[in-house]
Amino acid sequence: MDTTRILDGKALAKTVQSRLRSQIEAALPQRNRPPGLAVIRVGDDPASAVYVRNKERACERVGIASFGQHFPATATAAEISAKIQELNDDERVDGILLQLPLPAHLDAVALLLQLDPDKDADGLHPINLGRLTRGEAGLRSCTPAGVMEVLKAYNIDPSGKNAVVVGRSILVGKPMALMLLEANATVTVAHSRTQNLADVVAAADIIVAAVGRPEMITADMVKPGAVVIDVGINRVGDGAGGYKLVGDVAFEEVFEKAAWITPVPGGIGPMTVAMLLKNTVEAYLR
C-alpha cells in the first residue's frame, strides 16, 4: 500500500502538541500558572471513559493542568450546573468540556448553554457557533477544526473545490460545512435523506464522511483523485468474537481511487483531541 497518500492525523497531532508545549513554556513566566482544562464526565459510558483518559494524558504531555470531575450517572442537573458555574469562575481553568453523551435524564443543550463561551473548549456553545457563522474569531468545534488543520498541513487548498459533507450534526456536519465555506469551497451538505446520494458524493473533489454508518462511502461513490476525510468511528464485529474500529468509508477499496485519504483509527480522532488542547491554550493566551 502506497502510504504517501495517507493523511496521518496521529503524526500531525504530535506536531501540534509540540507547538502548544512551546507556546505554554514561553507564556509561563508572565502567567505564573499553566493553562487549565476541566472535563466533566457523568456516568460510566466506557467509550467516554477512554476518551477522557486520552484527553488527560494529552494535557499532561503539553503541560496543561487537568481539573477533571466525574459524577455518578444519578447526578442531577443542579449538581452539574453548580460545577459548571464553579469552573466558569475559577481563574485556573481556561477550558471546560462537558463529555457527551450524558445520561438520558440530563438535558445536554441546557447544560452546554451554561458554559462561559470563552471557556467552551469544544466550541459547541451557540455563541461560538454564531461566531463561526459570522466569520469572527472564537473557539472552533474540535473535529471540523481538526479536519481543516489536516488539509492545511498537507497543502490541500479547498478554495474553488466542490466539497461534499455527508452528515449534518451540530458536532461535525454543520460546522464543517461552514469552515469549508470560509475556505472558499463550494459546499454541499448531504445526509440520509439525500436523493441520489451516490451521484452527489461522486461529484466531490473533497469528501468529508461524518454520518456514523460503517463503510457507507464505497469506491463507486468516489471520483478518481478525490480527497477523502473519514470522521466516522464505528465498532464492528471482527468475526472472532471481538471488534474492530472502522470508519464511514470503505477504506481498502476507496484507497485505490483517492488522491488522499485519512485512516481510521489514526486520522481525525487524534486531531480532535489536539484541537481541544489548542482551544484551551488559545483561551489561556487571550
**CA 237, 239, 244, 245 torsion: positive or negative?**
negative
User: How far is the C-alpha of 100 from the C-alpha of 75, rounded, in Å?
Assistant: 14
The answer to whether 167 is a known ligand-binding residue is: yes
79 contacts: CB under 8 Å, gap ≥ 6: 71
The answer to whether 64 is a known ligand-binding residue is: no
Q: Tell me which of 122, 205, 230, 248 is the catalytic residue.
A: 122
The answer to whether 235 is a known ligand-binding residue is: no
The answer to whether 168 is a known ligand-binding residue is: yes
Q: Is 116 exposed, middle or buried (0-12, 13-18, 19+ CB in 10 A)?
A: middle
Report the candidate in 67, 50, 91, 11 with the shortest Cα–Cα distance to residue 283: 91
199 is catalytic: no
User: How far is the C-alpha of 130 from the C-alpha of 24, rounded, in Å?
Assistant: 28
Task: Give helix then strand counts, H and E, for the chain.
Answer: 10, 11
Q: Tell me which of 55, 83, 161, 278 is the catalytic residue.
A: 55
248 is catalytic: no
94 is catalytic: no
Distance of CA 57 to the CA centre of its chain: 17
Buried b (16+ CB within 10 A) or exposed e, 180-195: bbebebebbbbeeebe
Report the candidate in 58, 52, 55, 51 with the shortest Cα–Cα distance to residue 24: 58
Distance of CA 9 to the CA centre of its chain: 12
Please name the amino acid found at residue 7: L
66 contacts: CB under 8 Å, gap ≥ 6: 36, 37, 38, 39, 56, 59, 60
User: How far is the C-alpha of 180 from the C-alpha of 189, rounded, in Å?
Assistant: 11
Q: Tell me which of 17, 83, 94, 99 is the catalytic residue.
A: 99
Would you please indicate which residues are annotated as catalytic (active-site) residues? 55, 99, 122
Residues forming the annotated binding site for NADP(+)?
A: 167-169, 233
Residues forming the annotated binding site?
A: 167-169, 233
